[in-house]
Structure 1
Amino acid sequence: MVSDSELQVVVLGLGYIGLPTAAVIARTGAHVLGVDVSASVVDTVNSGRVHIEEVDLDGLVSGVVARGTLRASTQIAPADVFVIAVPTPFGNDHAPDITYVLQAATSVAAVLKPGDTVILESTSPVGTTEQVRDLLARLRPDLKVPGRTGEQADIAVAYCPERVLPGRILQELIDNDRVIGGVTPRCARKALAFYRRFVRGACVTTNARAAEMTKLTENAFRDVNIAFANELSLVADTMGVDVWEVIRLANRHPRVNILNPGPGVGGHCIAVDPWFLVHADPANTPLIRTARQVNDGKTDHVVAQAAALIESAPGPVACMGLAFKANIDDFRESPALKVALTLAERFGDRIRVVEPYARALPAAFAGTGAVLTDVDTAIETCPVMIVLVDHDVFRSVPLEERATKLVLDTRGIWPDQPRRRAQPALRVAV
């Protein structure tokens, strides 16, 4: 087995998963090359800095770059292990798009040699790892690929999805259990040996298809459970009941654990991955499809509630948060961003966006008249507040500073907020 100091690893994609993964591997002493299509990302990493917000990532990247175990480039190089961590978005019809995965695999094929291991970490439709294997076989007919002949293969191909929580990525990359699916059992064992270098959690091997579906199942499970909470919030609103109190009381049952509702579901996983299952088998996924529709519909409901509140009261409006979850700078598929942008397009310069993890508003806000502001200014100047993200800094605002405000709290962070009606038909609590 190659020692840590001799191991050469290439991580393709230096985003929210790829960069932390590359840094964690580099910390073991392995020599890691991070490959990204963005020259600015490459320059940032090579200077020992980071382009994403994640707890302790800046210090780790600075350290491994200084030690020479991590560097970045726009060009791939030969290595012993290739980890593909690129995006897998979906189109307008919710069909998964694995173009970036196949492009990354094409790059790998150009430098592949006998003995190498190729691992796909990107969340992918079932069967994608086999497509990567088949692509490598077409591009490199000189190499024996696994599972295509009865002979021992020259390379290993496996799938091992990430299962981390933003804000805890560095810890969870090491401590969480990993599911490692090989195209063949031999491939799974070889990938297992690699992950054992830096993972303390249990590493369980299976086949590639089972590992791919496991990742999709985990996120669909979360989506369905959030949909129940979001649907419950709509019913409670109709009934004139405090949904947060209902959930708190219901969760005292020993076998009930209802999640918290919100303005929808965002992020690169839960808002996207369930569609991969629906697209693969639409006839047998009515529950998963409905959960997606409920969660997307909740965002539209919040927009309608917020618009009614804004129309009932003059003055500036604070939209509190754009990120898809608390205390991070990740806006991908964020329902908070969708709500704030829709309100900005409708109410223009009345909208003040409060997002402590943004230096500027996203480009989509250009021309709307909305401005980025801070918490203190919003408290001083905005009679209406729309809470969209439960950032810690928002939770810290005391009652005496918001008691006179009209508040739509979609996250339940201010349970002591006085309930006020801006007009007879409007409830201002979700």
Structure 2
Amino acid sequence: MINVIGLGYIGLPTALMMASHGVEVIGTDYNKELVDTLRAGYTTFKEDGIDELFQAALNAGIKFSTEYQVTDTYIVSVPTPYDKFSKKVDACYVISAVKSVMAVCPKGATVVIESTISPGTIDKYVRPVIEANGFTIGEDIHLVHAPERIIPGNMVYELLHNNRTIGADNKEIGEKVKALYASFCQGEIVVTDIRTAEMTKVVENTFRAVNIAFANELAKICRHDNMDVYEIIRICNMHPRVNILQPGPGVGGHCISVDPWFLVGDYPSLAKVIDESMRTNDGMPDFVLNRIYEIMKEKGLKEIGRVGLYGLTYKENVDDMRESPTLQLLESQERHLATGLKVYDPLITKDVVANQFHDLDTFLDAVDMVVIMVAHSEIREHMVELKNKVVLDTRNICNLDGVFKL
């Protein structure tokens, strides 16, 4: 039986996927309200295919609890934020989960850390916790790192088809964990050592962050001299060895906006390109805010309260707001002692910010200028309704005449 610890955006889909493929699973989370919701037969976030996967797992007998279980295998999938001052990984949730596992696990158990962590985190924080509880690693407890590879918006497909990495002290234990993930994963599963597994996951997300930063910096350069960054990127990408990404209003989510900071925090004198790239991406919400003010001045708009931000989530067609560029922009506005921007997102039904709307028509009636922050399917399907508005399109999806771009 597998005890999956942490039932958020990563742990829950993992638990459901294993259960629906014949593995006995109990999911554990300290959040009683979340556990009660799952027990009542409801998922806790929106995602294509998640409801069907949830039903399949329920049919297979998955259970949910606030208690850690006595079993032979644990998968720890809890958040790993970073300290915004030191840029180092904050392993407190992982440490807490491992301590709780140690309180109930039998000798011979395998503990799999699925949370994304910086290289050396298991050596620095996890091993000492296990040893402090009187266990000998490699004899009493087997330690494995199997970093998650899930992208919100395409979770079910990614779980089934993305390649996986298993890091283990012992090759035999690594192969056993590989077999567990192979119960559902159709991608290639590589077994390596723990520190390599830690590093590869962080490097993957850092590569993406640096490439996004290059596109964002191009947007700033082109704006400075009134050049069309999108046309320039389109032409450059005609070269067979060039593939520049699209610029945007910032970077959010649980991976690209966080994980590269782990390397900056751990290797501050070495990770110079990464550091500057992350600062470039983090500066994009401020850049968008300045564009709003420039366009307002150009179009003679005097009321910031007549400007609306479309989209609160960090990417299209998901309800995940973690590190959202829109939230970052609103925080930036508050730091400048200004408020008033209106906000609407079709996937966020609860009030989470001031001046939030829950209906597209009402939102559009209340504003003269729309800033497209997220390319949800809804706005793509209702683009014609923006024809009488001033539009700043940060996602390059609007082909109406007179639209402003980054």
TM-score computed with the length of structure 2 as normaliser: 0.93
Deviations 1:69-91 (A, max 9, x none): 21211111112210000001112
Cα displacement (A) at 1:310 = 4.2
AA matched with 2:361 = D
Q: Partner residue of 1:338? A: 328
1:203 to 189, 192, 202: 189
1:51 to 44, 54, 67: 44
Q: Partner residue of 1:243? A: 229
Question: Alignment partner of 1:284: what SS?
Answer: coil
1:96 aligns with 2:89: yes
Change (3 A) 1:86 1:415: same
AA matched with 2:78 = V
Cα displacement (A) at 1:353 = 1.2
1:317 aligns with 2:302: no
1:371 to 332, 339, 356: 356
1:383 to 361, 368, 371: 368
Pairing 1:373-412 to 2, within 5 Å after superposition = 373-399=358-384, 401-412=385-396
Deviations 1:7-49 (A, max 9, x none): x111111110010001001102222111112111000111111
1:120 aligns with 2:113: yes
Contact 2:167 2:193 in 1 (8 A): yes
Q: Partner residue of 1:285? A: 271
CA distance in structure 1 between the aligned counterparts of 2:263 and 2:39, rounded to whole angstroms: 38
CA distance in structure 1 between the aligned counterparts of 2:326 and 2:233, rounded to whole angstroms: 22
Deviations 1:324-378 (A, max 9, x none): 11110111111122224545786645x331101111231xx3xx4x132322333
1:165 to 139, 142, 151: 151
Q: Partner residue of 2:137? A: 145
AA matched with 2:174 = A
- What is the RMSD of the two structures over their aligned residues, measured on CA atoms? 1.8
AA matched with 1:73 = S
AA matched with 1:325 = K
Contact 1:354 1:375 in 2 (8 A): yes
Q: Partner residue of 1:425? A: none
CA distance in structure 1 between the aligned counterparts of 2:279 and 2:357, rounded to whole angstroms: 30
Cα displacement (A) at 1:257 = 0.5
CA distance in structure 2 between the aligned counterparts of 1:190 and 1:18, rounded to whole angstroms: 20
CA distance in structure 1 between the aligned counterparts of 2:61 and 2:284, rounded to whole angstroms: 46
Question: Structure 2 stretches of 5 or more lacking a match?
Answer: none
Q: Partner residue of 2:348? A: 358
CA distance in structure 2 between the aligned counterparts of 1:379 and 1:33, rounded to whole angstroms: 46
1:106 aligns with 2:96: no
1:413 aligns with 2:397: yes
Question: Alignment partner of 1:157: what SS?
Answer: strand
AA matched with 1:64 = A
Question: Alignment partner of 1:247: what SS?
Answer: helix
Cα displacement (A) at 1:238 = 1.3
CA distance in structure 2 between the aligned counterparts of 1:215 and 1:232, rounded to whole angstroms: 27
Cα displacement (A) at 1:128 = 2.1
1:41 aligns with 2:34: yes
Contact 2:357 2:363 in 1 (8 A): no
Contact 1:353 1:371 in 2 (8 A): yes
Q: Partner residue of 2:162? A: 176
Q: Partner residue of 1:423? A: none
AA matched with 2:362 = T
Q: How many positions carry a matched residue from both structures?
A: 399
Percent of aligned positions that are identical? 38
Cα displacement (A) at 1:221 = 0.3
1:253 aligns with 2:245: no
CA distance in structure 2 between the aligned counterparts of 1:249 and 1:82, rounded to whole angstroms: 50
CA distance in structure 2 between the aligned counterparts of 1:251 and 1:392, rounded to whole angstroms: 26
AA matched with 1:120 = I
CA distance in structure 2 between the aligned counterparts of 1:347 and 1:220, rounded to whole angstroms: 33
2:18 to 8, 20, 25: 25
Q: Partner residue of 2:213? A: 227
CA distance in structure 2 between the aligned counterparts of 1:222 and 1:250, rounded to whole angstroms: 19
Q: Partner residue of 1:5? A: none
1:429 aligns with 2:405: yes
CA distance in structure 1 between the aligned counterparts of 2:182 and 2:30, rounded to whole angstroms: 29
